[in-house]
Amino acid sequence: MINPHTENAETNVAAEPTTDCSMRIDPTAACDPWVAQVAVITDIRPEIDSVSTYRFRFQNPDVAQAYRFLPGQFNMLYLPSCGESAISHSGPPAHDGTDFIHTIRFVGRVTDSISRLKVGDTIGVRGPFGAPWPWDTCLGRDVILMTGGLGLAPLRPMIYAMVSQREAFGRVVLLHGSRSPEQLLFADEIDAWRAAGVEVELTVDRADDAWDGNVGVVPLLLDRLPDVQPDQTEVLTCGPEIMMHYSAVSALRRGIPATSVWLSMERNMQCAAGLCGHCQWGAWFVCKDGPVFRYDRIHSLLSIRDL
Amino acid sequence: MTNTLPTDTEVAGMTPAASFLPRSALQTLLDLLLGQGYQVIGPRLDQGAIVYDSLERVEDLPAGWTEEQGPGLYRLQRRDDDALFGYAVGPHSWKRFLFPPQVNLMRSQQTDDGWRMSEVVQPVVRYAFLGVRACDLAAIAVQDRVFLQSGFVDKVYQQRREQALLIAINCTMAAATCFCTSMGSGPRCQQGYDLGLTELPSGFVVEVGSERGAALAANLPLEPLQDEQDQAAERARQRAVDDIGRRLDRDRVQTVLRERLQHPQWDAVAERCLSCANCTLVCPTCFCTSVDDVTNLTDQEVIRERRWDSCFNFDFSHISGGPVRDQTRSRYRQWLTHKLTTWVDQFGTSGCVGCGRCITWCPVGIDLTVEATLICQDQDADAETRS
Amino acid sequence: MSERPKLAVMKFASCDGCQLALLDLEDELLTVARAVQISHFAEASSHLEPGPYDLTLVEGSITTPEDRHRLLKLRADSKYLVTIGACATAGGIQALRNFADHDEFMRAVYARPDYIETLATSTPVAAHVKVDFELRGCPIDKYQLLEVIASLLAGHRPRTSTESVCQACKRRGTVCVVVTQNLPCLGPVTHSGCGAICPAYDRGCYGCFGPTVQPNTRALSDHVLLPRMASDQAALALHGINAYAPEFARGGQRLWQLAGLPKPLHPSLDASLETSLDTSLAASSATEPASS
């Protein structure tokens, strides 16, 4: 196991600002990590079954202006009398002082209740929290995103940011899997991403008659991807733990070093500030040391189911 | 912060000239504290134990009482003298005052414009703790790291901690469950106190540990310390060291335990462990909480309440697929490995201060020192133990 | 006012104590009455309206064929059906007959047992119909009841902790009666919710709220109960108010056997015990996962 204070701090936290979307965020600058700010829902867009994308704006204009996040970070969304849920940012990180976006699956007490909210309703927000995707590390390199199901949402801010500075990267590849063609998230954006220079390969667990693409798991897409340059590639993966695990195994098989593979972990998060203990995983607090981890730092933990 | 968290330089800069407080003047100390607006918390007899609670009079202290402790066992006993602090540690720890079991954090009110959310303003509490042991000082230092020095600051803890005055009392005996010598946390109070006392039959040897302590001492009827008093205090403190029979190989456990995550002893301890969480709640360093809403039917106002929680609870690690640690075995392993190993990675210090509370207050008497030692035995010896 | 959700409170084999918890809300009762239309609550009013109901609170266990029939109809009439108390949730103290010879009991109690039509068992409501939420306790805690009503009206799952009674003791500062007073106590394996009243009055926990999730009743028996009481007394401790809750039922059986007093389960009950064990585990998940 690795000491987060000696090994992780410099890379799992954003580096000095080099672009408008990697502004350094001081996690302790927030006055009180326990107190939420009120945000109003400005738009709701149904995506696939039981998943919608919400646009929010902080009610307090000063809070809205000051708010910044990095791709991979998350907010705690709070509905009074119902509870709180950790939800990753899924919108563009270039901040215009107004809105931020979350894509939410309705799977529990809080998210089910969010599903009944309307435009104009208010909600509590604490954040942003967590270590982001390694933006600076990815600069100038080939970037392969491997996502499963809703795992595409936490990487969408990264796609937006890379597309907006496409020349700053080498090859950009999205390998995405969904259960079925109708469960394909952000389907209407795929063409735009392709047009902007993102190679997109899709796969489904179960095809239907209209589907003429890949069938099978996401790691297979990497196995088959031509012309991978292992020493100039970063792999960013998000999805079910087992899918990320095998994506990492596949990346290693292609010769990509473990230090270039990044996973976004899910654990129970309550305070999001490393104070409540719920998200502990080995020596890590997933809420503040993660959720994004470099594979070489966690692979020994991944092999133990109930750690 | 300078008074409650003195740096080494600050302490070194002061002359820790010890002096003597006659027992008859202890009430003067209490009166002084009460007069300065402190709520004095110290040892009292209650519920068949020596607990920490409010006190105002010397007569409130457990004169002539001590305790017998063992795994799953605590019994009050009479001493053959009338020592006021002649016990080791009781069921409570100071965390119940600095890090309260339940605290309201936030208020949401339903208005025509939607929810309005605001911080719940915490009442200002000024505690003076009387009778803080060396292991307790170490535990407070551990929670300082957790709540004040690891990124986000917990304001509830911060406010209470900054105000708190710590009057330490050196142990002059040990319970059978004590193992502070193994953890390097006691029994001698070294730092982190405002005043440090050693009890003798006729009074207290007093050491000043901070500016706040010095200011307090200046108003006490202190006498110059006699050599024989000094020597008697040293002998009394040595008695506590000599009393401690329990051992834990801290360094070996810190390095080896994390490599033994699939050891069969985890299954063996899970057969006895009730997963009841008593160990975590009596532990003076455990800091886990959950936050939940206190609702009323109309939902006009909702309070967000933080409560002590425990990694032993089934739901504690719940994610979308169910709890990650879904068996007692994995929950006990999380607790022990965190307490003794990964805590060091996170906070630069062990989470265990050797106070022995988790051993005493475990209803089935599971002994952390025994379990950790068994799991960390070298593999050959381990195989012999099991055969 | 007809748009207010309709609340019904129904009674089966029980003592009415849990219904009294609703009346005992006092200050909050008016708020309840404003939030819902109390359509059927015989304990409070003789004005009884027929279903359908939005929320039905069921007290009591199922002990007669007629009750079983009534329950099936009630389920069909109810949008949400919530059991309140140990009888409805685990069969209650009357479920002790599940471990004994029911006919013998009838002959001992009634002059003309042939006039009595009952089932051989007292079973929880969930053994007969789908239950949306089970509220524990003997009696239930009125504030938990309020939480259940408020949550279900708001359309989300109620938050009731599955932690042990020990944790409530620790938060309120109660010193452990097992460790200091050598008293037997079911607290470590008992679901919280009562506020840990008994240990605060120098009594061990009686287990009124039933087993918590994954209760280690075997270790509790061997290391907490048996060193402090005879095995038949320990068996009775588990076979109390929640005797038929699966984990307590089995734990008690084992202690009867250790006492040399084999009290086998009624053969027909083994299967339903397994079923209700699965149900209680499935119902135990609570906290919101982090998503996306």
Closest chain C residue to B53, measured at CA? C173
pLDDT at position A17 over 50: no
Give partners of B (≥3 CB pairs < 8 A).
A, C
The dihedral region occupied by A274, where left means phi > 0, alpha psi between -120 and 50, and beta the remainder, is: left
Are A84 and B291 a contacting pair at CB < 8 A?
yes
What pLDDT is stored for residue C276 in this prediction?
A: 45
Residues 22-51 of C with CB under 8 A from A: none
Chain B residues inside the 8 Å CB shell of C202: 47
The reported pLDDT for the residue numbered A102 is 97
Cβ atoms A175, A201 nearer than 8 A = yes
First to last CA, chain B: 55
CB distance A9 to A16 below 8 Å: no
- Tell which residue, C241, C33, A292, C284, has the closest CA to residue B318: C284
**C290 neighbourhood in chain B, CB within 8 Å:** 319-320
Residue A107 distance to chain C (closest CA, Å): 8
Cβ burial of A210 (10 Å; 0-12, 13-18, 19+) is: exposed
pLDDT on residue B1: 35
Task: Order across the sheet with B301-308: list the strands.
Answer: B114-119, B102-111, B301-308, B289-294
Determine which of A17-26, B356-365, C188-197, C229-238 has the lowest per-residue pLDDT on average: A17-26
Mean pLDDT for the stretch of residues C184-201 = 96
| Beta carbons of A88 and C292 less than 8 Å apart | yes
> Does residue A15 or residue C273 have the better pLDDT?
C273
CB contact under 8 A, A306 and B153: no
Chain C contact set for B102 (CB, 8 A): 171
Q: Are the C-beta atoms of C208 and C87 separated by less than 8 Å?
A: no
Residues of C in contact with A81 (CB under 8 A): 150-151, 154
Mean pLDDT over the full length of chain B: 92
Cis omega before residue A181 (within 30°)?
no
Calpha distance B245→B297 (Å, rounded): 56
Residue A94 has a pLDDT of 65
**pLDDT confidence bin for B221, thresholds 50/70/90:** very high
Question: Which chain B residue is nearest to residue A28, measuring alpha carbons?
Answer: B152
List chain C residues with CB under 8 Å of B313.
Answer: 161-163, 167
> Residue C220, Cβ neighbours under 10 Å: how many?
28
Within the 348-387 window of chain B, which residues sit less than 8 Å (CB to CB) from chain C?
Answer: 360-361, 363-365
> What distance in Å separates residue B84's CA from the closest CA in chain A?
37
B244 three-class SS: coil
Instruction: List chain C residues with CB under 8 Å of A90.
Output: 292
Position A5 scores a pLDDT of: 34
**A46: nearest Cα among A136, A109, A115:** A115
A vs C, Cβ pairs < 8 A, gives 58
* Residue A152: DSSP 8-state: G
Q: What is d(CA C16, CA A66) in angstroms, rounded to the nearest whole number?
A: 57
CB contact under 8 A, A276 and B289: yes
Give which of A119, A89, A122 is closest to A103, Cα–Cα: A89
The whole-number pLDDT of residue A9 equals: 35
Rounded to a whole number of angstroms, the distance from the CA of A227 to the nearest CA of chain C is 31
CA-closest candidate to residue C223, choices C254, C185, C168: C185
Q: What mean pLDDT comes out for the span A203-213?
A: 93
Gap from B233 CA to chain C (nearest CA, Å): 31
Give the C-alpha separation, C90 to C83, whole Å. Answer: 10
Residue B103 has pLDDT above 50, yes or no: yes
Is the predicted pLDDT of residue B8 greater than 60, yes or no? Answer: no
What tokens does C128 get? 């007969």
Given A109, A154, A266, which is nearest C156 (Cβ)? A109
Neighbours of chain C (3+ CB pairs under 8 A): A, B
pLDDT at C273 over 60: no
d(CA C90, CA C92): 6
Q: Nearest C-alpha of chain A: how many angstroms from C102?
A: 43
Average pLDDT along chain C: 87
Q: With 0-12 CB in 10 A as exposed, 13-18 as middle and 19+ as buried, what is B285?
A: buried
Q: DSSP readout, C176-207?
A: PHHHHH-----GGGBB--S-SHHHHTT-----
CA–CA dist B31, B19 (Å, integer): 19
CA pair distance B71, B66, nearest whole angstrom: 17
Residue of chain B minimizing CA distance to C164: B276
Q: What residue in B sits closest to C200 (Cα-Cα)?
A: B47
Task: Supply the pLDDT for residue B380.
Answer: 59
Per-residue pLDDT averaged across C77-97, rounded? 96
C99: Cβ contacts below 8 Å, ≥ 6 apart? C239, C243, C249, C252, C253, C263, C265, C266
Model pLDDT for residues B321-343, shown as the tens digit of each residue: 889 999 999 999 999 999 999 99
Tokens of C251: 């734990």
Residues of A in contact with C156 (CB under 8 A): 82, 109-110, 112-113
CA angle C211, C212, C215 (to 5 degrees): 80
Residue A193 CB-half CA count within 13 A: 25
Distance from CA of B26 to the nearest CA of A (A): 38
Confidence band, pLDDT 50/70/90 cuts, at residue B381: low
DSSP string, B59-100: GGS-TTEEEEEETTEEEEEE-SS--SS-S---S--THHHHS-
Q: How large is the average pLDDT for residues B30-38? A: 97
Quickly tell me which residue has 């002539």 as its tokens. Answer: B64
Q: Which domains does chain C have, with CATH numbers?
A: 6-154 (3.40.50.700), 165-282 (no CATH)
Contacts of A123 in chain B (CB under 8 A): 115
CB of B117 within 8 A of CB of A36? yes
What's the DSSP call for residue C115?
G
How confident is the model over C31-83, as pLDDT tens digits? 888 889 999 999 888 899 998 999 999 999 999 999 999 999 999 999 999 99
Angle (nearest 5°) at CA B198 between B197 and B204: 75
- Model confidence at C283: pLDDT above 60: no
Structure confidence at residue A18 as a pLDDT band (50, 70, 90): very low
pLDDT of residue C114: 86
Q: For residue C139, is the peptide bond before it cis, meaning its omega torsion is within 30 degrees of 0?
A: yes
Question: Three-state DSSP class for C265?
Answer: coil
Nearest alpha-carbon partner for B375 in B247, B253, B250, B270: B253
Q: Domains, chain A, ranges and CATH?
A: 4-16+132-302 (3.40.50.80), 27-129 (2.40.30.10)
The nearest alpha carbon in chain A to C288 belongs to A108
Average confidence (pLDDT) over B52-81? 97
pLDDT in tens, A166-201: 999 999 999 999 999 999 999 999 999 999 999 999
Pick A303 or B199 by higher pLDDT. Answer: B199
What is the share, in percent, of chain B residues with pLDDT greater than 90?
Answer: 87
CA angle B67, B72, B74 (to 5 degrees): 15
Which amino acid, C284? Answer: S
The tokens 């007569």 sit on which residue?
Answer: B59
Please provide residue B19's backbone torsions phi and psi, each rounded to the nearest 5 degrees. -140, -175
Residue of C nearest to B272 (CA): C219
Q: Which residues of C touch A83 (CB under 8 A)?
A: 159, 287-288
A153 pLDDT above the threshold of 70: yes
Q: What are the tens digits of pLDDT across the range A84-136?
A: 999 999 999 866 667 999 999 999 889 999 999 999 999 999 999 999 999 99
Structure-token match 């407070």, residue found: B140
Residue B276 has its nearest CB partner, among C34, C173, C188, at: C188
Cis (ω within 30 of 0) for the bond into B71? no
What is the pTM (predicted TM-score) of this model? 0.91
Chain C residues touching B273 at Cβ < 8 A: 216, 219
The confidence band for C156, taking pLDDT boundaries of 50, 70 and 90, is confident
Residue-wise pLDDT tens digits, B127-183:
999 999 999 999 999 999 999 998 899 999 999 999 999 999 999 999 999 999 999
**Polymer length of chain C:** 292
> How distant is the Cα of A76 from the closest Cα of chain C, in angstroms?
9
- What ipTM, to 2 d.p.? 0.92
Q: What's the token pair of residue C134?
A: 């089970």
pLDDT at position B227 is 95
**Could you give the percent of chain B with pLDDT greater than 70?**
93
Query: Residue A136 class from Cβ within 10 Å (0-12 exposed, 13-18 middle, 19+ buried)?
Result: middle
Residue A305's pLDDT is what? 85
Structure tokens at C180: 């200091």
A287 min Cα distance to partner chain C (Å): 11
